[in-house]
């Protein structure tokens, strides 16, 4: 040190140089530290220091003022340009892709129109334009489509909401599924805003208030992505979970309630329509068993700027393998995608097999009625058709079931194939008794149009009715 | 330092103390290092510095002199006290557990006697005492049971070996499946000692010599744990893989070769018997797709003393979850076991369903023949029964298929159920044409004994014949 002191006292310019260099280094470190602290503050501010939002604030853009990143990603649910095997197709006509379903749903509105589900942002648009909705549907159909539902339930009462007409709700539903549907506006915590799930849990002896955060990351989804029905005259949204959540236990519940969704137009079987038992099937798969929540894969963490936040672009993990699957799985994107596709292919194979047999069963049952079969003769046949199609639908109706619990789905489809064939064996006896020459010839249902014609749908008429219906509604609103 | 030197020169006892202490520390470190080196040497010595073993050394105890740890564990394949869900049962009578199989195999020796496979050490004992072997079986039945087979093939030639009689081999087979079956005695490398696998690979355009070490850790098992048949008059052991290894591709191969294992005693269908397509089904599962070899789970690494070696106690990984599954999976033993059991349960459900329908199809076909059905009327029925039962058997015959590729197994069983029902639908027509009142009543086959009586087996006679046969053989040997 004494030598350095001596050197500097002799070389004034070197002393100034060292002084300036040191000052520079300190400045750079200071800026860096400030930047790090700022990022931390940004992160914490967003999470902790928000201003509570109004109790019934249904407009996501208001929430978005305080949570701009979550809001921006939420808006992305409008993006349907899939990277999945479907290609960039924006809206898939499922009936055109598999016209057998037209016959399977004959007499039910799904035979008119059934598209693959789209992002949450389309919730109101899609239910409005669907040929499945019109003058007859109850208000309950809105239950999962918009946060305005919560406001209406609060104002009118839940029972009163359910007992209204769907068409009367159209003017009130402004925002598609949004922030208020899952978050408490005061605390930003996840919460179950709708009554049906809480009621179902209560009937099972569970307390919704005791669900922990990781459970809530699935349960907010289970408010809607479940099997449900509209119970009784009051059309109350009800989850049929009282006996359990397997396909057999839910069937048992419906059987005991002597419930049917509709009577099949061809076979006259008392049918059940599976909705989308996503949560039920997910619960039976390995990811749920390992504690992985819906949000872990469908809303994985995302980093932007200094902030790590839950990605509110809810979508298929196949569109986002890097952030969802690869957090745990070390295989390449291509490998992981291929694994999922292979599962889908195996399941689709049995699914289509079940459909073929079921179509034939409905057609043969129609033939039996046509030649004068009696209620007594057809009783067992109709029960077998109901059971078989319920299993097929439970396996087929969900979003991503072949990923969520592939083994359970194949088990269910195996039973669907068995029961549909049992129905045909019974039918054989009835047909022969009535002197029908076997085999009953299968109709040409190779396209959606042919299938809809076969079951007697006048599609131009239905489409026109829908157009007129919407026009009338809009005129009424203007008055 | 100078202060210490001064202190020591004044205190001689302290100097001596320090000297001895230092010497002690050095000694301890030296011993430690020596022990570590010794362990390393032990490990390396075992692997690298063995004396080559004679080319046709079939006695595992001779190999065991140089590889005592591997040999000790190999001897453990005698231990059948399973920790699995079967409890401590040592030999499970599969026909008693599921008497439907007696009917499914009517006319074939499996209907007499079929026990769950036991460890390699039992290979000779089990094939000898089985009611499936006797005067008629070809020498080919020995192909996978003993290293003496290799010696005989070398001495006689392979073709000549295959064309002999099983009973003539009994005196030559001394050692059960052992070291020579998988290892080169000169280099200790894994090698394919038997011709069938190499031939099958060659016909597929693959070169067995180019398989790498990790592949060989499965391929030595695939020498035997595969689907196979005895081709033509020469009874040559052949793997039916020329068109691929799926259940449909192998069926295609057999169909084209117009091959059948036997004609069913009840239905007269030209049947196929699946052997144990373990390797084929394993290849279709996720573990194979991730590069996990048979040995990784069935022969995981084990540590004894200083040596880390491949555990030659080949067994179900369920008996050894800590060393096999938990190397990769972080879940508890109980959880992993429960996951496997759940797969097994789902698969068993569809498997039993397929069996029920198949039994009924055989019984109804017998009824049709009894009332005078013609070959022409029965042609399609018999093909459907063949196809359905082939699928059921392919899914059911393997060891651990419900673990190796559960999705593929369920897919196959779904088709088995479908095809068996198709057979019954066809049969319905035939039966009605011949004025049979439907339904055809099902026989009581609730126990193995009842089922064997139903298909016309005189078990006391067969058991006596076997006893006499073995006695005669032993007398012949003594001469």
Average pLDDT over residues B369-391: 98
Separation of alpha carbons A306 and A69, rounded Å: 11
3-class secondary structure, B247: helix
Average pLDDT over residues B210-233: 97
**Cα distance from B172 to chain A (closest Cα, Å)?**
47
So what's the pLDDT on residue B396? 96
Q: Which residue has the higher pLDDT, A475 or A67?
A: A67
Q: Residue A417 and residue B417: Cβ atoms within 8 Å?
A: yes
Nearest to B159 by CA among B232, B50, B77: B232
Average pLDDT over residues A226-231: 97
Task: List phi, psi (to 5°) of B236.
Answer: -75, 130
Chain B residue with Cα closest to A344: B407
Residues present in chain A in total? 479
Q: Does the pLDDT at position B264 exceed 70?
A: yes
In which element (H, E) is residue B4 found? helix B2-10
Q: Residue B353 and residue A432: Cβ atoms within 8 Å?
A: no
Count CB atoms within 10 A of the CB of residue B21: 10
Residues of chain A contacting B406 with CB distance shorter than 8 Å: 407
For chain B, what is the mean pLDDT?
92
**Cα distance from B118 to chain A (closest Cα, Å)?**
28
So what's the pLDDT on residue A46? 53
Q: Residue B417 and residue A413: Cβ atoms within 8 Å?
A: no
Task: List phi, psi (to 5°) of B292.
Answer: -80, 130
Provide CB contacts within 8 A for A124, sequence distance 6+. Answer: A145, A146, A173, A175, A176
Token couple for B265: 């005693």
Is A281 in the B-facing interface, judged by CB distances under 8 Å? no
Q: Does the pLDDT at position A90 exceed 90?
A: no
B250 in Cβ contact with B373 (< 8 Å)? no
Separation of alpha carbons A89 and A83, rounded Å: 9
Chain B (371-430) residues lying within 8 Å, Cβ to Cβ, of chain A:
406-408, 410-411, 413-415, 417-418, 421-422, 424-425, 428-429
Q: Residue A290 and residue B414: Cβ atoms within 8 Å?
A: no
So what's the pLDDT on residue B16? 82
Question: Which residue out of A395, A425, A437 would a mutagenesis test of the B interface target, given it has the greatest number of B Cβ atoms within 10 Å?
Answer: A425
Q: Write the residue in B349, B350, B428 that is nearest to A425 by C-beta.
A: B428
By the 10 Å C-beta count (0-12 exposed, 13-18 middle, 19+ buried), A156 is classed as middle
Q: Does the pLDDT at position A86 exceed 70?
A: no
Q: Residue B418 and residue A417: Cβ atoms within 8 Å?
A: yes
- The predicted complex's ipTM stands at 0.89
Q: Does residue B106 come out as left (phi exceeding 0), alpha (psi in the -120 to 50 range) or beta? A: beta
Q: Residue A410 and residue B415: Cβ atoms within 8 Å?
A: no
Q: Write the residue in A335, A339, A414 that is nearest to B417 by C-beta.
A: A414
Worst-scoring range by mean pLDDT, A75-79, B28-32, B132-136, B206-210? B28-32
Q: Write the residue in A339, A350, A428 that is nearest to B425 by C-beta.
A: A428
pLDDT tens, position by position, B117-166: 899 999 999 999 999 999 899 999 999 999 999 999 999 999 999 999 99
pLDDT tens, position by position, A20-71: 888 888 888 878 877 666 666 655 555 567 899 999 999 999 999 999 999 9
Q: Residue A418 and residue B422: Cβ atoms within 8 Å?
A: no
Token couple for B286: 């996720």
pLDDT tens, position by position, A284-326: 999 999 999 999 999 999 999 888 999 999 999 999 999 999 9
Q: Residue A353 and residue B418: Cβ atoms within 8 Å?
A: yes
What distances in angstroms separate CA B44 from CA A246, B69, B206, B310, one per listed residue?
56, 14, 34, 14
Token couple for B340: 């496997």
Is B331 in the A-facing interface, judged by CB distances under 8 Å? yes
3-class secondary structure, A326: helix
Instruction: Respond yes or no on whether the N-terminal peptide bond of residue A403 is cis (omega within 30° of 0).
Output: no
Average pLDDT over residues B46-50: 66
Provide CB contacts within 8 A for A57, sequence distance 6+. Answer: A63, A179, A180, A185
Q: Which residue has the higher pLDDT, A48 or A122?
A: A122
Average pLDDT over residues B6-22: 79
Q: Residue B410 and residue A414: Cβ atoms within 8 Å?
A: yes
Q: Residue B290 and residue A331: Cβ atoms within 8 Å?
A: yes
Q: Residue A429 and residue B418: Cβ atoms within 8 Å?
A: no
Q: Does the pLDDT at position B46 exceed 70?
A: no
Q: Does the pLDDT at position A354 exceed 80?
A: yes
So what's the pLDDT on residue A380? 98
Separation of alpha carbons B394 and B248, rounded Å: 10
- Please report the number of interchain residue pairs, chain A to chain B, with beta-carbon separation below 8 angstroms: 79
Q: For the residues of A146-215, what is the DSSP string, one character each?
A: -THHHHHHHHH-HHHHHTSBHHHHTTT--S-S-GGGTB-TTT--B---SHHHHHHHHHTT--GGG--HHH
What distances in angstroms separate CA B206 from CA A2, B198, B209, B242, B444, one per listed residue?
79, 9, 9, 11, 50
Q: Residue A410 and residue B414: Cβ atoms within 8 Å?
A: yes
Residue whose entry in the numeric block shows the structure tokens 């290894």: B245
Worst-scoring range by mean pLDDT, A44-53, B180-189, B247-256? A44-53
For chain A, what is the mean pLDDT?
92
Q: Using DSSP bridges, classify how beta strands B270-271 and B262-263 pair: parallel, antiparallel or unpaired.
A: antiparallel
3-class secondary structure, A231: strand
Residues of chain B contacting A414 with CB distance shorter than 8 Å: 349-350, 353, 410, 413-414, 417
Task: List phi, psi (to 5°) of A152.
Answer: -65, -40
Task: List phi, psi (to 5°) of A270.
Answer: -80, 95
Instruction: Respond yes or no on whether the N-terminal peptide bond of residue B439 is cis (omega within 30° of 0).
Output: yes
Separation of alpha carbons A183 and A295, rounded Å: 14
Average pLDDT over residues A340-356: 97
Instruction: Give percent above pLDDT 70 in chain B.
Output: 93
3-class secondary structure, B20: helix
Average pLDDT over residues A130-142: 94
pTM of the model: 0.90
3-class secondary structure, B419: helix
So what's the pLDDT on residue B26? 84
Provide CB contacts within 8 A for B373, sequence distance 6+. Answer: B430, B434
Count CB atoms within 10 A of the CB of residue B278: 21
Give B423's strand partners: none
Instruction: Work out the end-to-end distance of chain A between its first and last CA atoms, rounded to an integer number of angstroms.
Output: 92
Task: List phi, psi (to 5°) of A155.
Answer: -70, -45
Residue A386 DSSP code:
H
**Cα distance from A331 to chain B (closest Cα, Å)?**
9
Is B328 in the A-facing interface, judged by CB distances under 8 Å? no
So what's the pLDDT on residue A47? 56
Q: Residue B406 and residue A411: Cβ atoms within 8 Å?
A: no
Q: Write the residue in B410, B417, B438 that is nearest to A407 by C-beta.
A: B410
pLDDT interval class at A13 (50, 70, 90): confident
């Amino acid at each position: 040190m004494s030598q350095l002191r001596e050197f500097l006292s002799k070389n004034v310019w070197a002393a100034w140089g060292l002084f300036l260099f040191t000052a520079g280094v300190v400045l750079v470190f200071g800026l860096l530290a400030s930047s790090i602290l700022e990022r931390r503050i940004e992160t914490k501010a967003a999470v902790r220091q928000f201003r509570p939002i109004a109790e019934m604030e249904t407009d996501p853009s208001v929430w978005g003022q305080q949570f701009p990143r979550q809001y921006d990603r939420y808006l992305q649910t409008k993006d349907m340009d899939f990277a999945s095997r479907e290609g960039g197709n924006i809206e898939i006509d499922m009936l055109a892709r598999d016209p057998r379903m037209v016959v399977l749903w004959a007499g039910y509105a799904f035979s008119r129109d059934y598209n693959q589900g789209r992002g949450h942002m389309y919730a109101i648009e899609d239910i409005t334009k669907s040929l499945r909705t019109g003058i007859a549907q109850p208000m309950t159909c809105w239950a999962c489509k918009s946060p305005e539902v919560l406001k209406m339930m609060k104002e009118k009462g839940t029972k009163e909401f359910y007992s209204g007409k769907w068409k009367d709700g159209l003017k009130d539903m402004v925002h598609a599924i949004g922030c208020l549907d899952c978050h408490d506006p005061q605390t930003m915590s996840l919460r179950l805003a709708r009554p049906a799930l809480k009621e179902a849990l209560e009937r099972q002896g569970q307390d919704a208030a005791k669900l922990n955060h990781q459970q809530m990351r699935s349960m907010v989804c289970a408010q809607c992505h479940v099997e449900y029905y509209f119970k009784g005259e009051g059309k109350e949204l009800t989850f049929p979970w009282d006996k359990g959540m397997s396909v057999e236990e839910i069937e048992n519940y419906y059987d005991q309630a002597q419930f049917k969704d509709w009577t099949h137009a061809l076979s006259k079987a008392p049918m059940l329509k599976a909705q989308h038992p996503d949560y039920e099937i997910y619960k039976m798969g390995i990811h749920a068993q390992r504690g992985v929540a819906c949000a872990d894969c469908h809303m994985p963490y995302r980093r932007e700027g200094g902030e790590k936040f839950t990605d509110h672009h809810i979508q298929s993990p196949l569109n986002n393998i890097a952030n969802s699957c690869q957090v745990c799985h070390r295989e390449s994107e291509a490998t992981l995608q291929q694994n999922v596709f292979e599962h889908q292919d195996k399941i689709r194979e049995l699914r289509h097999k079940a459909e073929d047999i079921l179509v034939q069963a409905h057609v043969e049952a129609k033939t039996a009625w046509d030649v004068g079969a009696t209620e007594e003769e057809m009783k067992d046949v109709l029960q077998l058709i109901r059971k078989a199609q319920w299993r097929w639908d439970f396996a087929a109706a969900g979003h991503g079931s072949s990923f969520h619990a592939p083994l359970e789905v194949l088990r269910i489809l195996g039973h669907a194939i068995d029961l549909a064939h049992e129905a045909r064996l019974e039918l054989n006896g009835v047909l022969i008794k009535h002197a029908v020459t076997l085999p009953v010839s299968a109709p040409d249902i190779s396209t959606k149009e042919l299938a809809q014609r076969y079951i007697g749908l006048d599609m131009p008429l239905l489409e026109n009715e829908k157009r007129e219906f919407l026009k009338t509604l809009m005129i009424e609103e203007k008055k």
